[in-house]
Chain A
Amino acid sequence: MTSNRSGKKSQWFGTLRRLFSNMTERTIVSLIYLCGVSAIIFVFGIFFFVFREGAPFLKDHLDFKSFFLSPDWYPTSASNKRYGILAMLAGTGSVTIIAMLVAVPFSLASAVFISKFCGKRMQEILKVMIELLAAIPSVVWGFIGLMVLNPLIVELTGAPIGLNILNAGIVVGLMSVPIIVSIAEDAIRAVPDTYLEAAEALGATRWQTIRKVIFPAAKNGLLAAVLLGVGRAVGETMAVLMCTGHSVNIPFDGEAPFFHILDSVRTLTATIAAELGETARLDPLPDGAYPAEALHYQSLFVIGIVLFAITFVINLIADIAVKGIRKK
């Protein structure tokens, strides 16, 4: 009798427990699922938000020609408000180019060395060091540009001020080294050792092996690495705000040497960072039109959309390049 009852009880408990564990199981599975898809939700959420804030400007005030081809950025002018981002596009472009000139040779060389030509211990030390490089916050890099490179550049070049493309290019270049090295290293590691052995058997020098065997075999991965480095350079904000001089200026002109590396410039990202904080988000007036002051805030979001488009294209190309490796 008692055993029967306890049996019934345990049965009942069993069912409850199963039900409960089934529920927790399902809840946890769905939670993990939600975490998995959250990236998509966030990306679309951000996309939606940026577009919504920039929409009134896109709809009514965006004059493609003056927006992209005019260097005049006067969103708060008293008499003649102008929204031209050409100077900032040129600034972002020139800083990125110099950064890549600094970063690419440096990173590819160290990737080759780390993955193929150094001892196991050296390899571990170097990898940890390069990861440490990635852990330095961008404001600290900016500080290095401001305090160390700035006086050094003035001293060495006689420039009026050391906050310029060269300074920001060096800083951003060094910042993108870790990301390029880590991806390039994976790509080079994927090149079979038999290739190297074959090259050696043919009597190739190390340099010939690198140039004629390793680089061609790993070229997709290396391209992806460089493009992700470019993405990093385009998106960098704090360090470029501190190191470029933050000046609306096009560093190109018709006179030789055509490109002035010692000019101060301003990037798209830094403009948003510097101006958005103090710019009021104004609602439309009762008649539905926006006051003229509201356009500044909206135009900053349009710059955000432009940046979004640039990095999206870069990442897409990098992605396609990486897919290229997998196919092989």
Chain B
Amino acid sequence: MSKFVKEMIQGLVVVGLAVGWVGCSKKGSQDENVITNSGSDTMVNLAQMWAEEYQKVKPGVSVEVGGGGSGVGISSLMQGITEIANASRAMKDSEKAQAKQNTGKEPIEWIVGYDALAVYVHKDNPVESLTLAQLAQIYAEGGSTDKWSQINIDITSKGANDEIVRISRQNSSGTYFYFREHVLNNKDYKSGSRDMIGSKDVVELVGKTTGAIGYSGMGYATEAVKFVKLAKAAGQPAYEPSLENVASGNYPLARSMLMYTLGQPEGEVKEYIDWILSPAGQKVVEKSGYIPVLSGRKE
């Protein structure tokens, strides 16, 4: 037994030395001017465009962008791994408390643009507009709408099954929370929705399924799908997600795209956020298919 222990210790020492050596040789490659930025799946393309544009403005600073989802960004911020978290939902109080407990700093929220959460259907689907109440009947637990014929849509003539194929997001996504809060009034989703793990996956699956309906950021539209116009209530006019309708406040599902920093940002991070909020940074928002903060949108 003692021989066993001795051999184990010897082996561990050798492995330890090897690991230590590798670890040491890696040091010193750390760049001084790197800003880490990760989070929201809705915002990842936009964040990448900002980073590329900023490279031209300040060549000495590089911004490392990661996706993964709002939850990923927020939890890396809480652990102090990332300097700026992108989020398509607000941080929960429990998360703010945890961030404070871990890092001693209060997270600060920045509104960096707006997105219209679009409701997508297959391009052959005859549906033109829906009210938020109808959407809730389709998606919410206890909602009675399961077939297209129930809302007077004839989808069977397109060769599809009458069942409404509900496409949703995984239950930790920022978009999932937003839709639940603003369409379902915080009721739970009906069981049996197909839960995709990315904004793009939702739109792709809707594009391949004639009887499907799904929600995702407006920046993900493709040719195989179309937007459904949304009305706040029955009898009111329905609007499609567009810059004008979001700016005027007519489109009911416009949401803020957020960035979070730990405490008041300083140095390079502060300059980066200031630049994002400047007209130059906001122009990038418009270019990526989202809506700039400076559009004068009414809350």
Residues of A within 8 A of B (CB): 26-27, 29-31, 33-34, 37, 71-80, 87, 150-151, 154, 158-161, 163, 241, 245-249, 264, 266, 274-275, 277-283, 285, 291-294, 296
Contacts and interface: CB of A to CB of B under 8 A. Distances in A.
Interface string B89-127: 000101101100110000000000000000000000000
Given A30-B8, A34-B15, A274-B170, A158 B161 contact: yes
Given A277-B72, A293-B94, A30 B7 contact: yes
A33 B176 CA distance: 50
B133 interface: no
Contacts of A249: 191-192
B7 A278 contact: no
Contacts, number: 128
B34 interface: no
Contacts of A248: 191-193, 195
Contacts of A281: 75
Contact of B14 (A31, A78, A150, A161): A31
Contacts of B7: 26, 29-30, 33-34
Contacts of A78: 180-181, 186, 188
A277 B68 contact: yes
B211 interface: yes
B14 A285 contact: no
Contacts of B176: 76
Interface string B184-196: 0011100111111
Contacts of B195: 246-248, 266, 274
Interface string B58-79: 0000000000111110110010
B33 interface: no
Contact of B191 (A72, A154, A158, A274): A72
B154 interface: no
B34 to A, nearest CB: 23
Interface string B210-222: 0110000000000
Given A71-B191, A279-B172, A293-B92, A160 B14 contact: no
A33 B8 CA distance: 8
Contacts of A150: 208
Contacts of B170: 246, 274-275, 278
B95 A87 contact: no
Interface of B: 7-8, 10-12, 14-15, 68-72, 74-75, 78, 92, 94-95, 97-98, 101-102, 160-161, 163, 165, 170-173, 176-177, 180-181, 186-188, 191-197, 205, 208-209, 211-212
A278 B172 CA distance: 6
A275 B171 contact: yes
B191 A75 contact: no
A246 B11 contact: no
Contact of A280 (B14, B75, B165, B208): B75
Given A154-B209, A161-B212, A249-B192, 13 more contacts: A31-B14, A33-B7, A71-B191, A73-B171, A160-B209, A161-B209, A163-B205, A247-B193, A248-B195, A277-B72, A278-B172, A280-B71, A293-B92
Given A31-B11, A278-B71, A291-B94, A160 B165 contact: yes
B197 A241 contact: yes
B208 A277 contact: no
Contact of A283 (B92, B98, B188, B208): B98
Contacts of A37: 8
A139 B48 CA distance: 25
B168 to A, nearest CB: 9
Contacts of A292: 94
A80 B11 contact: no
A264 to B, nearest CB: 6
29 contacts: A27-B10, A30-B10, A30-B14, A33-B7, A33-B8, A33-B11, A34-B15, A74-B171, A75-B171, A154-B209, A158-B161, A160-B161, A241-B197, A245-B194, A246-B196, A247-B195, A249-B192, A264-B194, A274-B195, A274-B197, A275-B172, A277-B69, A278-B173, A280-B71, A281-B75, A282-B98, A291-B94, A291-B98, A293-B95
* Residue in B8, B163, B188, B212 whose Cβ sees the most chain A Cβ within 10 Å: B188
Contacts of A74: 171, 188
A283 B209 contact: no
A280 B172 CA distance: 9
Nearest to A151: B208
A167 B102 CA distance: 45
Contacts of A77: 188
Contacts of A274: 170, 195, 197
B267 to A, nearest CB: 27
B118 to A, nearest CB: 20
B150 to A, nearest CB: 14
Nearest to B186: A78
A93 B97 CA distance: 40
Contacts of A279: 71, 75, 172
A269 B209 CA distance: 25
Contacts of A291: 94, 97-98
Contacts of B94: 282, 291-294
Contacts of B11: 27, 30-31, 33-34
B212 to A, nearest CB: 7
Please provide the 10 A-B residue pairs with the shortest distance between their CB atoms, ordered closest to farther. A278-B71, A34-B11, A160-B161, A278-B172, A30-B7, A280-B75, A30-B11, A160-B163, A291-B94, A278-B69
A76 B68 CA distance: 18
B131 to A, nearest CB: 22
Nearest to B101: A283
A29 to B, nearest CB: 7
A292 B171 CA distance: 15
